[in-house]
Structure 1
Amino acid sequence: MSVLQRPTGFISRFVLLCALLLSASAHLQAQTPLGPQPDLRLLIDISGSMKESDPDNLRGPALELIVRLLPDGARAGVWIFGEDVQQIVPHQVVDAQWRERALEAVARIDNSGQRTNIPAALAAATYDLGSMDPTYRTSVVLLTDGKVDLSASPMANATAARDLLANTAPELGATGIPVHTIALSEEADWTFLRALANSTAGLAEKARTAAQLTEIFVQSLEMVAPTARVPIVGNIFLIDDTVDEFTALVFLQEAGAEVTLTSPGGSVYSPEQRAEGVDWFESSQFALVTVTSPERGAWTLAAPEGARSRVSVISDLKLEVDPLPNSLPAGRVTELGIRLRDAEGVISQPELLQLFTLAVQVTGPDGYSESIDVSGRYPVPATGEYRVSVPAFERGGRYQVLVQLRGETLERELPLYVEVIAEEAAPAISTRPAEVPEQDLQRPAVTLIALLLLALAVAFWVYRRRRKRKMAIWQRRFDASRGGADDTVVSGLSATDPDSGGNEKAP
């Protein structure tokens, strides 16, 4: 019998048993407090160049999607920036009132900015640096299509960018505040944005088209606030008795593509057929549907071929995973903390944990894949928390760490992402110089040529001045040897007379 065909009554008995056992053992074990809640701070570029980088203003729908996906209880704020910085969504706890204000603010995203003042934007978003609430885990997401541009002076812009990387970024990294950067144009200063992300243990993304922006935004949210999903097999996913609400997100390749949702009882839902407890939101890039108090059983999500889909859930039974560092050096071993939690706290009873199987699936560059059988490799922990060792990654690149939970009629997945930074290999012995990227050579080469031209000009000027001084000295010596231009010829001397043979003197 497949997991989609098993009776759902078991999970009801399990939840009841879980509650009874936890009640009975409450006096024996203190409950583990909830981990830090996410704190997301979004910085969105509204400079005039966005007219070309984002002609359809897809930043607006992408922000609206993030607003709808942010979990209640998180904190979030939104700033827009050009030459100046404005806060368009207050930095507050996410609730219904905050969402309403945030959705109204989407209309303020335009292309009215004159410059790209990234340092001022970062300063505004980290206004409380040094006094942040430790019960929240803060992250900054920076979207821009340009580079640091706060002045007409290239020297001032370069100085500001250098100061940000040398001082601000290390301070943010030391405080544990990653800055995830998104470049929305080939004109963006990718070298600077990547360095900013690396210095703060953040991730750098490049959206080669505005259409890719929504998916990158969602992945940024997953890094800040990992959310459990239910796996989709074909186009079917299972909703169990513990799920209070689920949200299906479908990324579309063509605008206007049809998406429908069919319940286990056969009811069909679509954007045109509204129903109580079913909320749809659509754009040209995606379709989002949230179902509250859903029917238990196998649901069907019909979407166009090639569409990418995911279903996240809000459930009484939570799969919790300690977040990995956003970036790691190659060769470093890391560790995952994995727990199951219900309304009473972390589940630690062995007889309950043995009802589930845990696994970790790691995928990465060049087809890398590794599976860790957590339930088979690790004994049931007395605290209820598995400490899973993740092997060191030797190759640089982006890795996905997918934590998988399976029960009798329950399935969960929780994705994490990590960027592995590999040091460049030492070059083999060779007489050929190492190749340097063109962008790394261009600026030093221009500077060197300018210095050489300046040195040649100075040398030529010094040479001309010395030559003039020597000519003046020679002229004075010559004039002195002549005794002056008006002196008479010395008497008693004459030119040689050719007839005298050169030996006679004048009379």
Structure 2
Amino acid sequence: MSVQFGSKALFPRIFLFLAVLLGTPAALHAQPPIGPQPDLRLLIDISGSMKESDPDNLRGPALELIVRLLPDGARAGVWIFGEDVQQIVPHQVVDARWRERALEAVARIDNSGQRTNIPAALAAATYDIGSMDPTYRTSVVLLTDGKVDLSASPMANATAARDLLATTAPKLGATGIPVHTIALSEEADWTFLRALANSTTGIAEKARTAAQLTEIFVQSLEMVAPTARVPIVGNIFLIDETVDEFTALVFLQEPGAEVTLTSPDGVEYRPEQNADGVDWFQSSQFALVTVTAPERGAWTLVAPEGARSRVSVISDLKLEVDPLPNSLPAGRVTELGIRLRDGDGVIARPELLQLFTLSVQITGPEDYSELIDVTGRYPVPATGEYRVSIPAFDRGGRYQLLVQLRGETLQRELPLYIEVIAEEAAPAISTRPPMVPEQDLQRPALTLAVLALLAVAVALWVYRRRRKRKMAIWQRRFDASRGAADETVVAGLSATADEDEGKGKSP
């Protein structure tokens, strides 16, 4: 991947060509926007155990970042829950007023809850499940550090969790509402959270530390509302003529790290400066800068070593991708729809589409990698929509599909994520006993022999001790009975006395 800085004169000619073609009705395959708008519903655990799981209350900055990144026109709402559920941000269309109220509500995220009533939280967030607006694609993000805990009775809690997985989750999945779960503690019921995500075609994530929460939140947002980016090569990214606004996000490794942004004409922007059209926000976990009406050309983003960065754009020319299921079983082939769109519709003119190249870079577990050359493999579609076959994945795990668009001086990337669920292999049944190598039997046999000898020795020792004790008891009884017999003879019967008595009598 390389950034091209040449051919500046060619770019205006391309867009002049576009303008001429767009002036004719046949230039575009005009149609209303394809695909629903995102509808994000956030559920945030405020139980007392969060004092240990999130001691610095990083849930607040993570929510604040999501509020700033949500696109205008989307819908969103925020609920907090412990034993009870409270809606702290109304479920409404995202606009300036909504963002203001949402940023004010960040302060209400604390650790005051007594329990973890996940069923009630899901019920509150899906209050309109029977009458949802089909023009929106609804997703739920659940953040918790515990398990279903709505009663002092373990049996009642287990029953509630089982009912949620058996009844509520399948209903949400059938309605097309994925629940993305985030476990913020090793104490969280990972088995339950993963089952809840899988049964609703959501994705389960585990934050090993609270500091990872911000990045996981952003990835959750990307799953709900995929946003086109421009690639960063080194620390340079290219802004083209179609970009109206860009937002650079830098995840910081250390609080207070310095981040700067330099425009193509050499003007340097810092968080402490106030510049027209440049809006900074920085926390201990990330730096966020939005530039409106940016200068065209190569921008430089300077961040600490090891920091991860991304630059998303709002542009007249949009890279649009059909939403894929967030999770699917291993071995299933799926299809990806890719289009280019401007404000009037999908671009279908072959002369325009041939100015760009499209590809899909797939990465996954155990260094899995595959590149699909879309424009090289598929002919230019008459409708302007490429239908790309995505291969079946045999191995379970998280896969990223990075859709890449390249023009002469225009570059876009759009990330998608899929969780592949691999079924556990059924145990094989065989009528033949397994062949075990002889050397593998020697150690177990020797161990058994030693244990047997020890058992025999212990048994003999116990037997002899018991026999000795019985002999002692018998001896005491014998001695006692013998002494009693001698006393009786002395007191009563005497042969000598009888003889003397007989001698004293006359015949």
TM-score for both structures, normalised by structure 1: 0.83
Q: Check 1:129–1:76 CA distance in 2 against 1; reply closer, same or farther (3 A cut).
A: same
Paired residue total: 431
> 1:87 is aligned with what amino acid?
Q
- The reply on whether 1:62 has 2:62 as its aligned counterpart is yes
> Is residue 44 from structure 1 mapped to residue 44 from structure 2 by the alignment?
yes
For the residues of structure 2 that align with 1:30 and 1:243, how far apart are their CA atoms?
22
Alpha-carbon offset, residue 339 of structure 1: 0.2
Structure 1 residues 78-477: aligned runs within 5 Å:
78-428=78-428
Shift of 1:206: 0.4
CA distance in 2, matches of 1:124, 1:19: 49
Q: Comparing 423-432 with 250-259, which one deviates more in the overlay?
A: 423-432
Deviation at 1:26, TM superposition (A): 5.0
Contact 1:19 1:344 survives alignment (8 Å)? no
In structure 2, C-alpha distance between the alignment counterparts of 1:250 and 1:28, rounded to whole Å:
37
Cα 1:29–1:261, aligned 2, differ >3 Å: closer, same or farther?
closer
SS across alignment from 1:376: helix
Q: Does the CA-based 8 Å contact 1:335-1:389 persist in structure 2?
A: yes
Give the number of the structure whose alpha-carbon radius of gyration is greater. 2
Query: For the Cα contact (< 8 Å) 1:8–1:240, is it kept in 2?
Result: no
8 Å contact 1:3–1:408 — kept in the other structure? no
Supply the distance in 2 between the matched residues of 1:164 and 1:299 (Cα, whole angstroms): 50
Once residues 12 and 294 of structure 2 are traced to their aligned partners in structure 1, the CA distance between those partners, rounded to angstroms, is: 15
Q: Secondary structure at the match of 1:313?
A: strand
SS at match of 2:158: helix
Q: Distance in 1 between matches of 2:12 and 2:118?
A: 52
Other-structure match for 2:465: none
Task: Show CA shifts across 1:241-260 (max 9, x none).
Answer: 00000000011111111111
CA apart distance, 1:426: 3.2
- For residues 418 and 17 of structure 1, do their structure 2 counterparts lie closer, same or farther at Cα, with a shift above 3 Å needed? same
Q: Is the 8 A contact 1:229 1:412 kept in 2?
A: yes
Residue equivalent to 1:6: 6
Q: Quote the Cα distance in structure 1 between the aligned partners of 2:328 and 2:170.
A: 16
Displacement of 1:130 in angstroms is 1.3
CA contact (8 A) 1:4 1:297 kept: no
For the 8 Å contact 1:8–1:297, the answer to whether it is kept is no
- Larger deviation: 392-401 or 14-23? 14-23
Q: Matched residues in 2 for 1:116 and 1:18: separation?
A: 56
* Regions of 4+ moved over 6 Å: none
Q: Evaluate the alpha carbon distance shift between residue 27 and residue 390 of structure 1 in structure 2; reply closer, same or farther with a 3 A threshold.
A: closer
Mapped partners of 1:164, 1:198: distance in 2: 13
Q: Secondary structure at the match of 2:232?
A: coil
Q: 1:423: how far off? A: 1.2
Give 1:273 shift. 2.1
Residue 161 of structure 1 aligns to a residue whose secondary structure is helix
Quick one: distance in 2 between partners of 1:251 and 1:412?
21
Counterpart CA distance in 1 for 2:185 and 2:76 is: 26
Instruction: Give the 3-state SS of the residue equivalent to 2:281 in structure 1.
Output: strand
The C-alpha deviation readout for 1:376-402, integer Å capped at 9, x for no partner, is 000000000000000100100000000
Match of 1:462 in 2: none
| 1:268-311 CA-partner distances (Å, limit 9, x unpaired) | 01112221111111111111111111010000111111110000
Q: Distance in 1 between matches of 2:28 and 2:248?
A: 40
CA apart distance, 1:9: 4.2
Identity of aligned residues (%): 87
**1:211: how far off?**
0.3
Task: Tell me, yes or no, if the aligned pair for 1:4 and 1:298 is still in contact at 8 Å.
Answer: no
SS in 2 for 1:19: helix
What do residues 457-489 of structure 1 show as CA deviations (whole Å, max 9, x unaligned)?
A: xxxxxxxxxxxxxxxxxxxxxxxxxxxxxxxxx
What secondary structure is seen at the aligned counterpart in 1 of 2:275?
coil
Letter in 1 for 2:396: G
Q: How far apart are 1:22 and its partner, in Å?
A: 2.7
Shift of 1:428: 4.4
Contact 1:8–1:241 under 8 Å retained in 2: no
Q: Matched residues in 1 for 2:29 and 2:110: separation?
A: 54
Of stretches 87-96 and 269-278 in structure 1, the one that deviates more from structure 2 is 269-278
Gaps of 5+ in 1: 433-507
Instruction: Give, in angstroms, the shift of residue 23 of structure 1.
Output: 2.9
Write the deviation string for residues 137-178 of structure 1: whole angstroms up to 9, x where unpaired.
000000000011111111111111111000000000000000
Q: Is residue 2:81 matched to residue 1:72? A: no
Q: Distance in 1 between matches of 2:388 and 2:20?
A: 29
**Residues 179 and 200, structure 2, Cα contact 8 Å, conserved in 1:** yes
Contact kept in structure 1, 2:3 and 2:237, CA below 8 Å: no
Residues in 2 aligned to 1:158 and 1:55: alpha-carbon distance in whole angstroms? 28
Take 1:256 and 1:111, find their aligned partners in 2: how far apart are those partners? 26
Post-superposition offset of 1:14: 2.6
Distance 1:282 1:376 in 2: 43
Distance in 1 (CA, whole Å) between partners of 2:94 and 2:8 is 33
